[in-house]
A and B are shown apart, each in its own frame.
Chain A
Amino acid sequence: MLVRYTLNLLRICSRQHALTPCQCRVFAQPSKGYAIYPTDMVDPQPSPEYYKENLPEEGDELSIKKIKAASSSQTYSTLYNPTIDKFTNLIVKEGKKFAAERIMQTTLAHIKLVQLKQYHAATESEKAEIEVNPTTVFCEAFNNMKPVVNVRSIRHGANVYQVPYSLEEHQRFFVAGKWLLDHIRKGKPSTKAGLRIAREILAAYNNQGEVMRKKYELHKLADANRAYAHFAWKRK
């Protein structure tokens, strides 16, 4: 397998002599079948402002390191938001990210419409407090939905207990996203998916809605069972 791949690489690389001596660093097949990139390669920063502020200097930390390739969603435009990008990845089905992108666009458009309505209907003093930017509304609401702990069933003796454990950031993100999408996928197809997401987001922005209720219930359950937290370590 290795030999065939290296031969293919040689064939590919030999065609390049026609144009330019390019950096032909391709790791075609992972050596042990797990990681694509070697461990010493570094992720690029997603925001374009980072590159304006931290101009490259000689002898910099990054000048020595190899950088991974930027993904296709990494556009380095000011409109890029990592939370929204990651959430669209959760919506994707069968690899059709363009469909998920359209759904997100309708979501954000709807959020903006609703907030604008509120803004124009509000008095001068209230206007300062209303957030119209749909990205900030989405991120704040999504943060509200993220649980801090989760529970899992652990058998201790004859009984099964719901034992709480803390969550890492990426896990919190995924749990919130999953709740939101499961809730939306129960809705009627007559309403657009983007609309359904937007309604739930706007409710969560005000700490209301089904997903927020789910989060509070989970927190209550974890709090009630916090005495059993040590069962995660002691297994009998």
Chain B
Amino acid sequence: MSRTCFWCLRSRGPACYSLAFHKTTPYIAGMVVQPRFQTGEQQTTNLHTSSILLRGLMPIRTDNDGTNLMKKKHVRYSEDYIQEKIEEYKLGVRRLAVMMGRDPKTFTEDDVKSSIRYLFPSSLTSVSARPSLDHPADLFPREIRVEADSHGRPKNYLFYTMSDLFYEELHFIYSCLLEAQQLDDRNYEKKIAPETTLDLKGSSWMSHDEVKKMFHNIKLPMYNLLISQLSRLAEEPYAYKYKNLIMKYRVVFQVQIAAKLDQLETKVDENGREYSEAQGKRKTAVADVRVYSKGKGRITINGEEFDEFFPLITDRQVVITPFNLLRMNLFFDVEANVRGGLSGIWMSEKGSSPQFPTNPKTSQAGAIRLGIARALQPFVGATNAEILRRAGLLTQDPRKKERKKPGQWKARKKFTWKKR
């Protein structure tokens, strides 16, 4: 991963740390900038605009290491070095917050990313080549401390597993499981019930990436093993005694996804009818849907009646799926305008009948279904809206037609394979 120099936005190299290098960069006429550190004489260097902005971010430092990380991938840095860099980083983030006119205390990592993207817009496709302000813990790999005796024999008996802390943890979890089982057996004989139960609501297991931060170099099968062992422990009746251990690997969620549902407003028609509007999409079909609250179950699409527009019963079933789920088929009226989505529009109508159409409208039906489900939310209440979400009716189907690739006939069909 190449890091760009904060000064000149080129690949970082040892030369970037000398001001002489920057004298050759394009300048703004008449611009005079005071350098941040005191040099022997007053330097009037004319610098690139972006580097002027960046000047305030990090103090100029000529490290003996010359942190060109690309050339030093194998190097691991000591804790003290990383701490120094973390202090610099925190300072830089504070200055960035001030620059953006924000409160430094409420400046999150996402805010850092978005402000860097704002200040230094880049159209480079490679994400790692764009300017960024990363936390040093992500950039600099830590050196591994090995505790060994004078003969060089490692102290930890699990050293040769290459992830001793991880396996130690696994052993510990298993010993806790055995303890919990023994406790359960003893108390069952004595007919004593456990005092409380372990409640894991509102939290979920840490993801693979998060566990990697705790134990570096843990691959997916090992992560799965850890989670399965912890789940097994959590099933025990006396698992509440090991709550600290279990909650260490759990992430508590405060903001639920259900709360992020669209806050749609209901509007009133010229005739005084209450309705709500939403848009739905499927492939290239786009549907603008209006759902009227007090209705008889009448559906009109592009001015046509429901069964005229969708002669196929499957398409009709797709459209009324949200009503089917909530058993509210006859309480709403629907007016929809749908366009697009007929990929086979160039196919001839020859040989097509209503039951066997050459241009079926299933994508349009899917678009209307999504529009109806979205528009129903304000009328139907929070629990029913959550039911719609859990049934997958509020997610837009992301499938699109796969592109044709060079060297193949179609997306997947290949040319005939010839051995020679």
A positions within 8 Å CB-CB of B: 2-3, 16, 19-29, 36-37, 40, 43-45, 48, 51, 55-56, 58-77, 96-99, 101-102
Contact B201 A59 (CB under 8 A): yes
B304 shortest CB reach to chain A, Å = 19
CB-CB under 8 A from B278, the residues of chain A are 19-20, 22
Contact A69 B396 (CB under 8 A): yes
Contact A44 B396 (CB under 8 A): no
Contact B321 A65 (CB under 8 A): no
Residue of A nearest to B316 (CB): A75
Q: How far is the CA of A64 from the CA of B254 in the complex (A)?
A: 9
A152 shortest CB reach to chain B, Å = 23
> Binary interface profile of B, 306-334, with partner A (CB < 8 Å = 1, else 0)?
00000011100110010011000000000
Contacts A3-B125, A22-B279, A64-B257: A48 and B325 contacting too (C-beta < 8 A)?
yes
Task: Among A37, A63, A99, find the residue whose CB has the most chain B CB atoms closer than 10 A.
Answer: A63
Contact B325 A28 (CB under 8 A): no
CB-CB under 8 A from B396, the residues of chain A are 23-26, 69
Contact A98 B356 (CB under 8 A): yes
CB-CB under 8 A from A23, the residues of chain B are 260, 262, 394-396
Q: Which 3 A-B pairs have the closest CB atoms?
A: A44-B392, A70-B392, A59-B202
Q: How far is the CA of A97 from the CA of B314 in the complex (A)?
A: 9
CB-CB under 8 A from A24, the residues of chain B are 396
Interface stretch, picked from B26-34, B168-176, B190-198, B359-367, is B359-367
Contact A62 B390 (CB under 8 A): yes
Interface residues of B in 365-416 (CB under 8 A from A): 365-366, 374, 383, 386-387, 389-400
18 new A-B contacts, CB < 8 A, other than A19-B279, A75-B317, A98-B360, are: A16-B279, A19-B278, A23-B260, A24-B396, A25-B396, A37-B398, A44-B390, A55-B387, A59-B201, A63-B257, A64-B253, A70-B393, A70-B395, A74-B391, A74-B392, A76-B391, A77-B324, A99-B356
Residue of A nearest to B397 (CB): A69
Contact A56 B324 (CB under 8 A): no
Residue of A nearest to B388 (CB): A51
Contact B389 A67 (CB under 8 A): yes
CB-CB under 8 A from B53, the residues of chain A are none
Residue of A nearest to B251 (CB): A64
Give 26 A-B contacts (CB < 8 Å), ordered by A residue. A2-B125, A19-B277, A20-B278, A22-B374, A23-B260, A23-B394, A26-B396, A27-B398, A29-B400, A36-B398, A36-B399, A44-B392, A45-B391, A48-B324, A56-B383, A56-B386, A56-B387, A63-B258, A68-B395, A69-B392, A72-B314, A75-B321, A76-B321, A76-B324, A96-B356, A98-B312
Residue of B nearest to A12 (CB): B281
> Does B355 sit within 8 A of A, measured CB to CB?
yes
> Does B123 sit within 8 A of A, measured CB to CB?
yes
Residue of A nearest to B370 (CB): A69
A202 shortest CB reach to chain B, Å = 26
